[in-house]
A and B are shown apart, each in its own frame.
Chain A
Amino acid sequence: MTNLINRAKELLENGTVKVVIGYEAGPTGLARPAFITDPAKAGKLIYDDRCVQNLAVYLTKAEVKNLGKMAIVSTLPVMRSIMMLISEHQVMGDNIVVLGISTEKELLDIADIGVMKGYIEKCDLRNPEKDRETLAMLNALTPAERFAWWQKEMEKCIKCYACRQACPMCYCIRCTVEVNQPQWIPVQANPHGSTEWHILRAMHLAGRCISCGECGRACPVGIPCHLLTMQLADQVNNYFHVHAGTSDNMTSVLSTYEPNDKESFII
């Protein structure tokens, strides 16, 4: 932690960056995103088990960008998000400083995107273990059971779109749900509208989800919607042998193809 604070302080003091995006402790003891612009306040930065939010979501937020060049405290999911955001032209790689945090919570020396790429490649890119267990459980059910399981979750949805807003990859300024010519997704938060919303969200993240689980964590009513995108992340790797967020030049799996892509259901 001292390393992180010192590094943040140094970057702010020498003017390399204008803001350090990290975590601080809130009044209730939760860790929450912090935006340090004053080197004297770098001491507020923390990094521990409570720091779970994917901070990459702020890289595309207008008012954060307005602060100037950013340094960002980055665990693996954040780094992978950054790779995706660079690939999709939302972030300029040389415009951010990555304060990498290893799985052992040590500050990494990420000099540039190339170094970050090397680090990511060495990491376990699968879905987090507890999610893998839930996915395995669900995949073992019959389709009808899975339908019932998901419908029970969908009934809870209030369409607050916290899942979307918390996701670094959901940076569109107008989401499909906000299109009403035609009204692709029913506006109402009934099981139908909610189911189609979650299908849409998962499809739009196919090949782009970096398995941070932020959508599920953000959901105020506790829908594990991250399992949908994680299932597809698994399948993307299964079919196309790609993990999202492993390079700064990724073409989305749904934007490209191989003539010999394998499937078994098209007659």
Chain B
Amino acid sequence: MSDFEPKVVAFVCNWCTYAGADLTGTSRIKYASNVKIIRFPCTGRIDFMLLLKAFANGADGIIVSGCHPNDCHYTSGNFHAKRRWIMFKELMDFMGIDMNRITFSWVSAAEGARWADVVNSTVTRIRELGPYVSYKELVNKSVEEEVKND
């Protein structure tokens, strides 16, 4: 497990967290390279299905991050996203899908150092949790194998 390099996907909004991550770069603050960023105009744009797609394609952890409440470039996208995540988290918990593998955060364009912290703490946590075996198994389990089953 020691050489386990978690795959973490970050879904971030263009105006705050993406810009914040840019600032982390311009400030030359180092963080774990396991995280790869996908840019969205707004957290309001992030479909909950994309999070499942990330797990289905082998992600061990996910970060979802956008503007702090009241700072949304589009005024309200992050508020809508917040409600969506509240419901999503409740459903995932109820189905036993591991929500410790998802970090939801607000990181502003000025919080370059904080972005590094969010990434590093997420990667550390996912490292401890290990690969997301149960979701990977779920994805690879094909009904046909049941028929073959040898």
Contact = CB atoms under 8 A, between A and B. Distances in A.
A139 B94 contact: yes
B88 A203 contact: yes
Contacts of B97: 143, 147
A96 interface: no
Give chain B's interface residue range (CB within 8 Å of chain A): 35 or more
Given A189-B143, A192-B139, A267-B105, A150 B96 contact: yes
B141 A196 contact: no
A235 B142 CA distance: 33
Interface stretch (B2-10, B22-30, B74-82): B74-82
A267 B104 CA distance: 6
B84 interface: yes
Contacts of B118: 267
A147 B95 contact: yes
Given A203-B48, A261-B83, A150 B95 contact: yes
B1 interface: no
A231 B94 CA distance: 8
A195 B86 contact: no
A184 B79 CA distance: 24
Contacts of B141: 190-192
A261 to B, nearest CB: 6
B31 interface: no
Interface string A177-211: 00000001100111110011011101100110000
B134 interface: yes
Nearest to B66: A266
Interface string A238-267: 011000000000000111111101010111
Contacts of B86: 235, 239, 261, 263
B90 A147 contact: no
Given A146-B96, A267-B118, A200 B49 contact: yes
Interface in B124-150: 134, 138-139, 141-143
B103 A267 contact: yes
A196 B56 contact: yes
Contacts of A263: 82, 85-86
A142 to B, nearest CB: 8
Nearest to B90: A235
Dominant secondary structure at the A interface: helix
A151 interface: yes
Contacts of B98: 143
B96 A145 contact: yes
A236 interface: yes
Contacts of B52: 196, 199
B33 interface: no
A202 to B, nearest CB: 5
A144 interface: yes
B104 A192 contact: no
A190 B98 CA distance: 20
A138 interface: yes
Interface of A: 138-139, 141, 143-151, 176, 184-185, 188-192, 195-196, 198-200, 202-203, 206-207, 228, 231-232, 235-236, 239-240, 253-259, 261, 263, 265-267
21 contacts: A151-B138, A188-B143, A189-B143, A192-B138, A199-B52, A199-B91, A200-B49, A207-B87, A228-B91, A235-B87, A253-B83, A254-B83, A257-B82, A257-B83, A258-B79, A259-B69, A263-B85, A263-B86, A265-B104, A266-B104, A267-B118
Given A203-B87, A259-B79, 16 more contacts: A184-B49, A190-B142, A192-B141, A195-B95, A198-B95, A203-B88, A232-B87, A232-B90, A235-B86, A254-B83, A259-B70, A265-B104, A266-B82, A266-B105, A267-B104, A267-B106
Nearest 4 A-B pairs (CB), nearest first?
A147-B96, A146-B96, A257-B79, A266-B104
